[in-house]
Structures are given as structure tokens and as C-alpha cells.
Amino acid sequence: MGALCELFWRPNLGAIALSDQWLEIEPCAILCYGGAHGPTDREKRMNEEEKFALLQKSARRLTLICSVTLLVGVLLLRFTALNTDFNARRWLMFSALVVAGEFWYLRRVLRQNHHPNSEQLYPNLGAANLMTIYRGLAYAWMAGFLLLPRPGGPMDWLPALLYVAASITDVFDGYVARRTNRVSRLGETLDMEYDGLGVLVACLLAVQYGQLPLVFLLVGIARPLFVGGMLWRTRKGLPNYPMTESNQRRIIAGLLMIFLSTVLWPIFKPPESFVVGAVFGGAVTLSFVRDWLVTIGWLRPGNSTYRIWRARLKIWSLLWLPVGLRVLAAALMSLLVMNMLSGSTHLPAAVNLTIALVGVLGGVAVLLGLAVRSASGLVILASYVGFAFAGQATLGLALLFIASLLIVLGSGHFTLWIPEERWLRIGAIVEE
């Protein structure tokens, strides 16, 4: 899953609440793009400048392809946008500026297209890097919607769909790089920069559309501020202390991407989106603050006192707090279901029954510890409907907040089945 700050977010996959063993991913057959079985004879005969010339040619070809997609996009928006105030040419201008910046940066770092343990260039970009570059194109399309009203009609969903597609690509590009034997410094660099770009653009759009508060922009600019702070300290001759491994950083980053993929849907509005955003934004902010304090030396991970208190905090917040939240979520969900079945809402009886069944399923699963993160999603769905359409404001907001906390913190003690934890950590391994 996407790395919010790959530069310093390195997970320790021995999760305190789950397992201290590494999870292994079985090899699978996958389409290979140059290099899956080692370099060809022709590639071995090439010198480095010939390889670099081929990479430059590939970059120019990709620039042309991405530019053509922008022309397709402007025509699509020109003839499908229902909002007369939406300016497709301005969308083209913003998107083209971002694409130009992305390919300018790509040409600057092309010489990093080699294995981390070797200086020999790959003569082509490889499938994984192409996936990452096209992810950057999706972010450029999204950036085109900045400073513009929603286009209206089905095109209102386009920014969210673009971010969902980019997030899915982000999950698999590292996996493809490994399975095709094309891990490269270039891929690591592009992945890191495009992750930051995607989060920034998504946050800007969500704030622009009123789905998140202005303060949420701090999440979007957290990584640039962090990296800028490190550079400033270097120029001042101040040390930047190394980050320690953490089993939560990458998980929180991935969950943030899932949240942003969802909050951009045009159906979500405040205060519901503000409440959920406060949980995810708060988790990311706390992680960055802790890492910054370690970087500047105010927190010393090697200090025994710090390690003891950090372990206690993790035990309380990741093992015991979720248990109480699960009980509370089940109790509140039972009240919401009873209110909906009593006919105290203005929704049709069939809709009330459907949402009540979803709420019961989610509440029981959360209480028993069955796929708690996924079950919390069902609780959020029932709570959102209860708040937005059934007049259950207090219960709905409370359940939204509690279920969001469970998605971030996990299931804690006394669980029966937690498949999401395994897949979240597999995603972290794939990216590492």
C-alpha cells in the first residue's frame, strides 16, 4: 500500500497484537517486462550511455502518450460536464502543468534506473515503473480539477475514481517489481514522490469541495514539511537522527489512502466526513509528530524509559482500548437498529430493514472480533445512513467516530478472526 513518507516510514512487521513472525508471499506467475529472467545478450553488450539513451527515448514516448491522454480528457469533460461554470480548458492547463513537472522530474532521476545494490542501468523502465508513472498521470488528471467547481453529472465521480485506481496501482507496483526482478532506485524514488503528490492533491480537492476542513491540509503538506525540515537542519549543521521501525506507520498510510479514496465520493459531506477525517488525520499527524521528535533528538528510541512507556502505550492503545470500543460500538449500534426498526425514521420500511441488517451484521462482528476493520466499515455505512437520512444524528456521529477509531487501531485482544491484519502486513512486505 501507498507509503505516505517512504523516506522515514519503515514498518516492523512483528505486530504487538498479532504475530512476531514475517509473513511470506507465495510466488505467482505474472507477466514479465524485461529482466524477469535476467538481462538479455543484447542488454549485456550495451554500455551505460546506450542504455541511458534508450531510457530517454522511453521517457519522451511516455510524455507523448500522457499528453494525448490529456487531450482525450479535455474532450471528455468538454462534452460530458453538466456544470456550465466548469472550464475544461483550465482543467487541461492545470493537468498539463503537473504532467510537465512529473516528466521533468523523471528525466532528472532517470539515471537511478538500476538495482539498489548495483550501478548498472536497466535499458528499459520495466512494468513496475510504468505502473508508477501512470499513477502519476492519474494524479495529474486529479490536479486538473483544482480551483474549479465540480463538473456535474457522472464526472463528479472522476476524481475519486482516479484516486482509487491510483491507490490500487500503488499496492501492486512494488510486487510487480519483485516478481519481474526489476527493483530499482528509480522505482523507490518515484513511488515516494508520487505518494506524497497523490495525498496532497486528494487533500486539496477534499478541502476545496468542502468535504474536509481546511486544517486537514496539514496532512497533505506533512511530508514536504518534514523533508524540508530535515534539509534545513542539514544546512544548519544539525543532526537528523534515524527513524526506528514501526508496525503502524505503513498501515496508517494505507488506511489514509483508503479514507481519501472514499471521502472524495460526492455523496459524503460534513459533518460526517469531518468526524471520520478527524480520526484518520489525527492518526497521521501524531505519527509525523513522533517521527519529527525522534529526528531532532527530543525522543531517543534507545532510551530504556522511552521504550518502556512506548510499549505500555502500544499495549493500552492497540490491545485494550479497541476492546472497549468494540463493546461500545455494539451497544450503540443496537440502539440505532432499534430506532430504525421502530419506524421513527422517514425512510421506507424496506430501506430501514436493510440498513438494520447491515448494522446488526457489523455490530455483532465487531463485538465478537470477526474481521473488525471490515466490520467497522459496515458500522460506518449504517451509521452514515442513520445520520444523513434517518434523523439519528447523535448516535450516527458517535458510531462514525468509534468505528473509524477501530479501523485505525485494529481489533485488540479477544478476537476470533482478523484477516485484514494479515493482508495489511502483506502489503507492507510487498512495498518493502
Predicted confidence (pLDDT) per residue in 45-94, tens digit: 578 889 999 999 999 999 999 999 999 999 999 999 999 999 999 999 99
* 294 and 328 belong to one structural domain: no
* 352 and 426 belong to one structural domain: yes
* 294 and 334 belong to one structural domain: no
Radius of gyration of the CA atoms of the chain, in A: 23
Cα 372 → chain centroid: 19
pLDDT (tens digit, 9 = 90+) per residue, 225-284? 999 999 999 999 999 999 877 777 888 988 999 999 999 999 999 999 999 999 999 999
Q: Say if residue 38's pLDDT is above 80.
A: no
Longest CA span, the chain: 78
Q: Which domain, by its residues, includes 146?
A: 1-301
Tell whether the torsion through CA atoms of 84, 86, 89 and 92 is positive or negative: negative
Residue 317 counted as domain residue: no
- Amino acid 88 reads A
Asked if 430 and 356 count as a contact pair (C-beta separation under 8 A), the reply is no
Q: Say if residue 42's pLDDT is above 70.
A: no
* 172 and 113 belong to one structural domain: yes
Residue 308 counted as domain residue: no
Q: Which three cell numbers stand for residue 174?
A: 512494488
Among candidates 302, 371, 383, which has minimal Cα distance to 340? 383
Q: Which three cell numbers stand for residue 121?
A: 542501468
* 286 and 335 belong to one structural domain: no
Q: Which three cell numbers stand for residue 422?
A: 494479515
Residue 179 counted as domain residue: yes
The Cα–Cα gap between 259 and 274 comes to: 12
Which spans in 144-247 are helix H? 158-179, 185-208, 217-235
* 260 and 346 belong to one structural domain: no
Mean pLDDT of 363-384: 95
Asked if 405 and 326 count as a contact pair (C-beta separation under 8 A), the reply is no
Name the domain count of the chain.
2
Among candidates 389, 374, 372, 277, which has minimal Cα distance to 336? 389
The Cα–Cα gap between 386 and 37 comes to: 55
Residues in the chain: 432
Structure pTM?
A: 0.85
* 129 and 267 belong to one structural domain: yes
* 336 and 195 belong to one structural domain: no
Which spans in 109-146 are helix H? 126-143
Mean pLDDT of 291-310: 92
pLDDT band at 357 (very low <50, low <70, confident <90, very high): very high
- Amino acid 200 reads L
Three-state DSSP state, 38:
strand
Q: Mean pLDDT over all residues of the chain?
A: 86
